[in-house]
Every structure is written in C-alpha cells, then in structure tokens.
Amino acid sequence: MEPPNHQGAAADATTTKRPKPPPLPLATRLQLAGLSVAIDAVERPDGTVNRCLYSVIDRVLSARASPCPDASGVRSFDVTMDASRGIWARVFAPSASAAPDGRPLPVIVYYHGGGFVLFSPAVGPFNGVCRRLCAAVGAVVVSVNYRLAPEHRCPAAYDDGVDALRFLDAHGGVPGLDAASGVAVDLANCFLAGESTGGNIVHHVANRWAAEWQASAAHLRVAGIFPVQPYFGGEERTASELRLEGLAPVVNLKRSDFSWKAFLPAGADRDHPAAHVTDENAGIAEAFPPAMVVIGGFDPLIDWQRRYVDVLRRKGKEVEVAEFPDAFHGFYGFPELADAAKVLQDMKAFVDSHRAPTF
C-alpha cells in the first residue's frame, strides 16, 4: 500500500473554503476557553504533565458523589475496583421507579475523555454527562477511573477498562445495587460508552472483550458500544484536521500530538494500532458488538471517525452513525446545546433496540 500523501491532504485543505464556526452560547464559549487554557497549562513540551498544577485544577473541577437523588431521580456513589492500581468507578443509578415494568436495568460502562492524560469520573462535565445519560436512557452508568499517561502508557488504560468489566462479571452485578436498594441490573445487557479518548478505549476494550473474555464470562455480555467522537489518528494529517486547525475548540494538532506521544509506547509513532485503527491493521474480533458511532461536523477528527465507521462496515460489523453537522469535539458535555439532548435520545433508542429479552 502506498504511503499517505501528506502534501495532497494539505493542498486539498488549503483549497477548501474554511467553514464558519457554528454560533455557541456565551457560557459555552467561556467554558471551552477555560478548558483549553487549563489543558495547555498542565501539558509540558517534554511530553509530561504538571501533576501538581493538575491536582489543583482537578480539585476545582471535581464533584463529590451524591447518594441523595437529584431532580431527575439520579443518585451516585463510588466503588473501589482495584485499590492497588487506583481503579474505581462512580456509579449513577436511577430510582427504582425508573423501571416501572420491573425489568432489571441495562448497564452502561463509561470511559471518560481527557487525551489519556487528564481527568477522572469526578470531573464536573463527565459527572454531568453520566447523570444525564443515566436519566435519559434509564440505565445504571458505571464510570471507570483508569490510570493516566504518561505515567501509565498504552495498554494500561485498555487493561483497566477490561478489568472493570471482569470486576462486574465476577460480582454478578454492580456493588451497592441489589434487591434492598430497589435497583436491579442486567449485566447481559451491558453497553460501553465514552467520548474522545474514552471512545478510543471503548473500541479497544470491546475488541479485547469479544476476542478474549466474552466466551467465558459468567454474567456480562457487551450488547453494544457508543464510541462518541472517538479519538483516532495517524501520521497523516487529514483534510479535516488541516481545515479546522485554529477554528475548532479544544482539539488541535499540538494537543493531539501531545496525547499520542504521552500515551503510545515509547518510540511508537501515530500509526501504532492503538491510534490508527482505520485500516487493515484494525484487527476486529469476530464477536465485535454492534456500534453507534457519534461524530460531529466541526470536529477535526471527523475524517478519522468516518474511516473507522468504514472499516467496521468493511469487516461486516453492525454500525450506525449519529452525525451532528454543527457539533464540535465534546459537544455533548454541554447540556445547554440542543444536540447534547438529541444524542442521548439516539443512544436510548440504540439501547432499546439492542437489549436482549430478560426472562
């Protein structure tokens, strides 16, 4: 196969009219600006993270678990999965009245974004997304805290993601939820979701689970996945990356390159299979689950995401696409945006259509 034509992509991008950024509420623009400043402040040029400064930002942005139901009837609590590795999860559970038909609730295991190097399930935007996901879908959401790079490089995040599923399978449910709590879960209807780098983790965890663990699992079945604006890449600079450079919020080439350098094994380039899963190096397991891939038209990574959809289809896998033409990278973390509510409706429809019958 011929190497990518980098100059050709650059030429195409320079001859394509630069899009006009979609209008955003002032509050959203301010939050995005603050997020960009925080990211650039903690990511050092040498590929490391200023953890001292990051810990301060993390404390400011983080929310505590809340065992009391909020206005939508969702409560949250934390569960330790592996204290030796710092793996824990924040569980978001609806009230018992969320399942009036008496059926056990599906489980959504969630992996947060942050370029593989930042954040946790407690950080405000991810805490909020999982609350809204729980309420909108009518599912128990288990948001996993995995180890961060560059201190823990690839495949640490994938190992932790798989081990979270093994933990749930070994327990036969979600610790803290049982008959006494009024919320029963159905691990045979487990879905994986995550945005950005979390979407990348969703793909790799689902693939490894399908290839290595699904056949022997006692309780947990991955019924479907939601890679939301998944973070893929390669040495090539795609037309969308070049066209939206400097226009789209949060994601740019500098930050993307930092994340891959911090996460990938030392000496690996961006064509490593962890990043570049959009070609024949994407070894897709036979039992890979159905997918709903969410993409945004104002996301610099859209070309990589469309290639990912294409490779899944070429491999004969079931895949749906939910595309939002004006959406920037991370849009569904902002509840004031109409698309942030619409994508949750699409996710609920996908869960409803892919749930196995409960007997």
**pLDDT tens track for 57-79:** 999 999 999 999 999 999 999 99
* pLDDT given at position 310: 96
Give the domain 49-354 fold: Rossmann fold (3.40.50)
Domain borders along the chain are 49-354
Q: What percent of the chain has pLDDT over 90?
A: 86
- What SS3 string covers the chain? CCCCCHHHHHHHHHHCCCCCCCCCCHHHHHHHHHHHHHHHHHECCCCCECHHHHHHHHHHHECCCCCCCCCCCEEEEEEEEEHHHCEEEEEEEECHHHCCCCCCEEEEEEECCCCCCCCCCCEHHHHHHHHHHHHHHCCEEEEEECCCCCCCCCCHHHHHHHHHHHHHHHHCCCCCCCHHHCCCEEEEEEEEEEECHHHHHHHHHHHHHHHHHHHHCCCCCEEEEEEECCCCCCCCCCHHHHHCCCCCCCCCHHHHHHHHHHHCCCCCCCCCCCCCCCCCCCCCCCCCCCEEEEEECCCCCHHHHHHHHHHHHHCCCCEEEEEECCCCCCHHHCCCCHHHHHHHHHHHHHHHHHCCCCC
Task: Tell me the pLDDT band of 101, cut-offs 50, 70 and 90.
Answer: low
**Average pLDDT of the residues in 239-258:** 97
* pLDDT given at position 357: 77
* pLDDT given at position 155: 98
Query: Which of the following is catalytic: 76, 120, 143, 196?
Result: 196
pLDDT exceeds 90 at position 286 = yes
pLDDT exceeds 60 at position 10 = no
Q: Is there a catalytic annotation at residue 299?
A: yes
* pLDDT given at position 99: 59
131-149 pLDDT tens trace? 999 999 999 999 999 999 9
pLDDT exceeds 50 at position 7 = no
Query: Which of the following is catalytic: 112, 152, 276, 329?
Result: 329
* pLDDT given at position 85: 96
Q: Is there a catalytic annotation at residue 329?
A: yes
* pLDDT given at position 250: 94
Task: Tell me the pLDDT band of 95, cut-offs 50, 70 and 90.
Answer: confident
Q: Is there a catalytic annotation at residue 76?
A: no
**Average pLDDT of the residues in 191-210:** 98
Query: Which of the following is catalytic: 159, 169, 186, 299?
Result: 299
pTM of the model: 0.94
